[in-house]
């Protein structure tokens, strides 16, 4: 008799566990699962909006969700969670989706590796072409009285706060509390003036429900030099926006019209006639599948078109077509900074960026914009990787064409200039804005606004000029309550070192502090100027008071609640003007009429 063989290896158990027991109506459940998966695919596509492009990471996540949903539906339909005997069946149904997910992960991983900076450092350094044979004093226009008067004085935060005040006009249109200003605004050149334009968004989802049928009634335009804002009403309302929902969401509208395009965040601009558009940059990953992101064109969407009319243009068309030169922003600032950092980090290879770090440079933290050749140029400081408070130059990049120019200028970083400017008004506790780069007398100079943020209003109180090269020399900086005063002090500082400045501070018009109600693209103020009484006196409460320095003397411009005019008087003629506050009752003796009247005396009642 043959011996009895007993298997103590447990090899048979694993085979026994994999016995597949299909649930009742398994074929029907497969069909139902497939139908639910297709529905999931449509819903997920509507929400995730992936580009049908292998270079879009969202596409891989989307396909993974769809594949996984089929397995989930089979598990639910077979009740495998409550009946473990059906688990092997669900595992078998998950084989194909699992293989699909594995392929997606493998493709994404390989795509990432072949486009990694480790292997393609040189390619990354060549994404942006930088011209270095430049001269700051010759290529950056030197400021004159008119250009200095039009300097942008507001940062994005202050511009947003001023924009919010312009929404008061909506009350007269029956839109009380229905809209707020969109969280982002765009700086552009509009009719030769630096402005920011801000679209609207709904104040809440409920207010969206009641207003979405008509759309947004207009947008806000903020004059950066005038420190004023105006709400522009549109005849045709804005229908498509990042603040909309469902099919009117701009991103969804673009995806349905351009299913294979990769898009950056849309920016809001207006043309020379004030018509609103969305500029939607088209991206391409130029290295591997996911690396070397660059702009290859843009879709221009007419914001006030009822059907979302749009047209695609290549980057070359933006460079050469004169009809497109009103567009200021095709290349996003953060993308430009990223590309320049690649250039500065990897131009001598990957290992040099980590070990030797010879000639390795990067941008400073932050950027601003200057107007040049009727275009908006983003600029930022450039510093070596080992530097702390100093820069070795600046890079300016045209946001429409990506033309990049490096200027070799040594000095302090923008953060150093902010600290220097705040130090000049330490007792007042003002906060400096990110500086603007100017050419004054051939000297690279930081211009900063000093804001009082203690009240939460971010009101600009003073201005500062800090010499880039001698940022740590207190004598080579200036601050003042208006542009003329600030420039006068800075000019004297430069001339004391032998630098000639061909600009007269007295010719600088402080457009932010004058009685000028002309808004960008708006109508001229036609209010009737006030006249003094026959006795030559006027009495009232101070509604507004402003200051200006002329010839080294301070003048006060006083507007009363009883008059439309500004009464101007010097401190030497009326010392009481120095201690005058808003709301004080005063009697002013003056003669004549007009918007600005010279006063002979002032008395606080």
pLDDT digits (tens, 9 = 90+) for 436-454: 999 999 999 999 999 988 7
Nearest to 264 by CA among 254, 275, 249: 254
The continuous run of DSSP H or E covering 228 comes out as strand 228-238
- Predicted confidence band of residue 492 (pLDDT cuts 50, 70, 90): very high
How far apart, in whole angstroms, are the C-alpha atoms of residue 215 and residue 201?
10
Neighbours of 137 (CB within 10 A): 13
Instruction: Identify the residue with better confidence: 435 or 574.
Output: 435
Pairing of strands 228-238, 216-223: antiparallel
Strand, coil or helix: what is 421? Answer: helix
Q: Mean pLDDT of all residues in the chain?
A: 89
How far apart, in whole angstroms, are the C-alpha atoms of residue 333 and residue 144?
28
How far apart, in whole angstroms, are the C-alpha atoms of residue 513 and residue 496?
29
Q: What residues contact 557, with CB distance under 8 A and at least 6 apart? A: 513, 515, 545, 546, 547, 548, 566, 567, 568, 596
Length of the chain: 605
Strand, coil or helix: what is 399? Answer: coil
- Predicted confidence band of residue 333 (pLDDT cuts 50, 70, 90): very high
How far apart, in whole angstroms, are the C-alpha atoms of residue 163 and residue 186?
12
Chain CA centroid to CA 175, Å: 27
- pLDDT of the residue at 590: 83
- Between 57-61, 495-499, 557-561, the lowest mean confidence (pLDDT) is in 557-561
User: Over 60: is that where the pLDDT of 128 sits?
Assistant: yes
User: Over 50: is that where the pLDDT of 496 sits?
Assistant: yes
* Total H helices, total E strands in the chain: 16, 29
Of the chain, the end-to-end C-alpha distance in Å amounts to 131
User: Over 50: is that where the pLDDT of 98 sits?
Assistant: yes
Strand, coil or helix: what is 515? Answer: coil
Residue 476: CA count within 13 A, CB half-sphere:
19
Instruction: Identify the residue with better confidence: 323 or 524.
Output: 323
> What's the token pair of residue 558?
């006083």
- Predicted confidence band of residue 517 (pLDDT cuts 50, 70, 90): very low
DSSP 531: B
CB 158 within 8 A of CB 460: yes
Cα dihedral sign, 486-489-493-495: positive
Range among 45-59, 76-90, 472-486 rated most confident? 45-59
- pLDDT of the residue at 176: 73
CB 69 within 8 A of CB 37: yes
Long-range pairs for 264-267: beta carbons < 8 A, 24 or more residues apart: 264/295, 264/332, 264/335, 265/332, 266/242, 266/301, 267/186, 267/329, 267/332
Cα dihedral sign, 350-354-359-360: positive
How far apart, in whole angstroms, are the C-alpha atoms of residue 57 and residue 75?
28
DSSP 584: -
Q: Tokens 């004297």 appear where?
A: 492
> What's the token pair of residue 328?
């200021």
Phi, psi of 15 (to 5 degrees): -65, -35
CB 390 within 8 A of CB 408: no
Point out which residues pair with 568 in neighbouring strands: 557, 598
Q: Would you list the domain boundaries of the chain? A: 16-114, 150-330, 336-512, 537-604
- Stretch 317-343: mean pLDDT: 97
Neighbours of 576 (CB within 10 A): 15
- Predicted confidence band of residue 509 (pLDDT cuts 50, 70, 90): confident
CB 469 within 8 A of CB 410: yes
User: Over 70: is that where the pLDDT of 10 sits?
Assistant: no
Pick the CATH number of 537-604 from 2.40.50.140, 1.10.287.1770, 2.130.10.10, 3.40.50.460: 2.40.50.140
Phi, psi of 121 (to 5 degrees): -55, -45
* 208 class by beta-carbon count within 10 Å (0-12 exposed, 13-18 middle, 19+ buried): middle
- pLDDT of the residue at 259: 98
- pLDDT of the residue at 460: 86
3-state helix, strand, coil in the chain (%, to 5): 35, 30, 35
Nearest to 229 by CA among 548, 521, 527: 521
Residue 438: CA count within 13 A, CB half-sphere:
25
CB 520 within 8 A of CB 230: yes
How far apart, in whole angstroms, are the C-alpha atoms of residue 440 and residue 423?
22
User: Over 90: is that where the pLDDT of 237 sits?
Assistant: yes
CB 300 within 8 A of CB 278: yes
Report field, pTM of the whole predicted structure over 0.85: no
Alpha helix positions (H), 371-449: 414-424
Neighbours of 127 (CB within 10 A): 20
């Amino acid at each position: 008799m043959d011996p009895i063989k007993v298997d103590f290896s447990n090899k048979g158990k694993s085979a026994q566990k994999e016995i597949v027991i299909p649930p009742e109506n398994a074929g029907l459940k497969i069909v139902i699962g497939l139908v639910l998966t297709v529905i999931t695919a449509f819903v997920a596509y509507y929400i995730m909006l992936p580009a049908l492009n292998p270079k879009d990471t969202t596409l891989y996540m989307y396909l993974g969700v769809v594949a996984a949903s089929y397995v989930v539906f089979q598990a639910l339909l077979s009740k495998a969670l409550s009946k473990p005997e059906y688990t092997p069946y669900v595992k078998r149904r998950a084989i194909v989706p699992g293989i699909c997910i594995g392929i997606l992960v493998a493709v994404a991983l390989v795509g990432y590796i072949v486009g990694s900076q480790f292997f393609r450092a040189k390619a990354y350094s060549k994404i942006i072409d930088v011209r270095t044979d430049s001269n700051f004093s010759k290529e950056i226009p030197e400021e004159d009285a008119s250009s200095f008067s039009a300097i942008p004085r507001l940062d994005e935060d202050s511009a947003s706060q001023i924009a919010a005040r312009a929404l008061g006009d909506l009350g007269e249109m029956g839109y009380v509390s229905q809209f707020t200003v969109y969280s982002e605004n765009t700086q552009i050149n509009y009719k030769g003036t630096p402005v920011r334009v801000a679209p609207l968004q709904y104040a809440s989802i409920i207010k969206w429900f009641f207003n979405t049928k008509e759309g947004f009634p207009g947008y806000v335009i903020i004059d950066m030099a005038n420190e004023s804002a105006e709400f522009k009403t549109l005849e045709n309302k804005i229908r498509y926006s990042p603040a909309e929902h469902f099919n009117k969401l701009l991103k969804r509208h673009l995806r349905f019209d351009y299913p294979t395009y990769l898009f950056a965040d849309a920016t809001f601009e207006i043309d020379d006639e004030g018509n609103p558009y969305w500029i939607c940059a088209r991206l391409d990953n130029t290295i591997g599948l996911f690396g070397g992101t660059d702009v290859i064109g843009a879709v221009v969407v007419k914001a006030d078109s009822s059907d979302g009319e749009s047209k695609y243009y290549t980057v070359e068309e933006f460079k050469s077509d004169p009809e497109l030169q009103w567009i200021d922003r095709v290349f996003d600032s953060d993308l430009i900074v990223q590309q320049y950092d690649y250039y500065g980090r990897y131009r001598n290879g990957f290992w040099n960026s980590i070990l030797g770090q010879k000639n390795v440079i990067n941008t400073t933290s932050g950027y601003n914009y200057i107007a040049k050749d009727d275009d908006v140029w983003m600029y930022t400081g450039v510093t070596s990787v080992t530097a702390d408070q100093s820069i070795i130059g600046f890079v300016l990049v045209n946001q429409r064409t990506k033309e990049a120019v490096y200027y070799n200028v040594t000095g302090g970083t923008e953060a150093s200039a902010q600290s220097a400017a705040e130090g000049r008004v330490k007792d007042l506790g003002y906060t400096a804005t990110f500086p603007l780069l100017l050419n004054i007398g051939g000297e690279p100079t930081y211009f900063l606004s000093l804001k009082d943020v203690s009240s939460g209003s971010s009101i600009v109180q003073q201005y500062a000029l800090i010499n880039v090269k001698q940022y740590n020399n207190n004598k080579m900086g200036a601050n003042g309550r208006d542009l003329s005063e600030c420039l006068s002090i800075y000019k004297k500082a430069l001339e004391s070192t032998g630098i000639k400045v061909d600009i007269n501070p007295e010719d600088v018009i402080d457009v932010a502090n004058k009685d000028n109600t002309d808004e960008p693209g708006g109508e001229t103020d036609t209010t009737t100027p006030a006249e003094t009484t026959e006795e030559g006196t006027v009495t009232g409460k101070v509604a507004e008071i402003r200051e200006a320095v002329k010839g080294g003397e301070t003048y006060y411009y006083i507007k009363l609640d009883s008059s439309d005019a500004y009464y101007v008087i010097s401190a030497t003629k009326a010392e009481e003007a120095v201690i005058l506050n808003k709301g004080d009752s005063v009697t002013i003796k003056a003669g004549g009429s007009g918007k600005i009247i010279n006063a002979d005396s002032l008395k606080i009642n």
